[in-house]
Amino acid sequence: MQADAEIYVRSIRALCPDLTDEELAQFAAKLTLLELDKKDLFIQSGKVQKALGFVTKGLIRSFFVDLNGNEINVGFYAEGDYATHYPAFITRQPSSYTIQCLEPTTFLCLTFEDLQWIYQQYPKFERYGRLVAEEILKRQQARIESFVFQTAEERYLDFAEHHAPLFNRVSLSQLSSYLGIERQTLTRIRQKLAHK
């Protein structure tokens, strides 16, 4: 767990360099290690998320099931990302999403109660919380705008540019669901681009 905690603490220090070693040590002391296998669930829709998860190894997806029973992917998160449905987590409401491991995944977890304790004891961590929340909001807004302003091909190219390391880790079916297109359409886009 020590090596995983160091990864997490480095990511915090990169955003908030003014945090002291003592403050970071107190934060690290609240973390718990969770290791899940491929296909295991970190969060199940309809349940309240107990802890925020920081991915130190592995890959997860966030999805919901539509009225026709189809799984619709809304995000992929690898090392250095958070496993959370953040609005539901901070309001203590049941999540609308399921978060599932696509690979064996290691998380460092912080409960809601411990997060609130950290904020109260060490107010400088509130800046870190704000910056993480802002990053989550920016990603959500970018995803919404991609469906408003981009074609399917542009969404694919944007994913290829910003998430290249995920290409060999995510199946075409999962990617097509995330992009909001049929798998056959994704195949045609990939063939067209390959011939350019």
Cβ contacts of 150-154, under 8 Å, gap ≥ 24 = 152/179, 152/180, 152/181, 152/185, 152/186, 152/189, 153/189, 153/192, 153/193
Residue 103 sits at the vertex; the CA angle it makes with 171 and 135, to the nearest 5 degrees, is 85
- pLDDT for 184 equals 92
The mean predicted confidence, pLDDT, of the chain is: 93
Judged against a pLDDT cut of 90, whether residue 193 lies above it is answered with no
Contact (CB, 8 A) for 40 and 19: no
Structure tokens at 191: 């063939």
- Residue that has been written with the tokens 């011939």 in this structure: 195
Judged against a pLDDT cut of 80, whether residue 158 lies above it is answered with yes
Judged against a pLDDT cut of 90, whether residue 49 lies above it is answered with yes
Please give the Cα distance from 102 to 121 (Å, whole number).
36
- pLDDT for 192 equals 87
pLDDT tens digits along 101-132? 999 999 999 999 999 999 999 999 999 999 98
Residue spans of beta strands (DSSP E) within the chain: 32-36, 41-43, 51-57, 60-65, 71-77, 82-83, 98-101, 105-111
- pLDDT for 188 equals 92
| Helical (H) or strand (E) element with 182 | none
Confidence category of residue 70, pLDDT binned at 50, 70, 90: very high
β-strands 41-43, 51-57: how paired?
unpaired
- pLDDT for 176 equals 94
Contact (CB, 8 A) for 63 and 98: yes
Confidence category of residue 64, pLDDT binned at 50, 70, 90: very high
pLDDT tens digits along 17-31? 999 999 999 999 999
Per-residue CA distances from 78 to 41, 56, 156, 195 (Å): 15, 8, 18, 30
Please give the Cα distance from 172 to 187 (Å, whole number).
8
Encoded amino acid at 59, one letter: L
pLDDT tens digits along 75-102? 999 999 999 999 999 999 999 999 999 9
- pLDDT for 5 equals 87
- pLDDT for 194 equals 84
Residue 18 neighbours by CB distance under 10 Å: 8
- pLDDT for 30 equals 94
Please give the Cα distance from 6 to 12 (Å, whole number).
10
* Percentage with pLDDT > 70 across the chain: 100
* Percentage with pLDDT > 90 across the chain: 83
DSSP tag of 165:
G
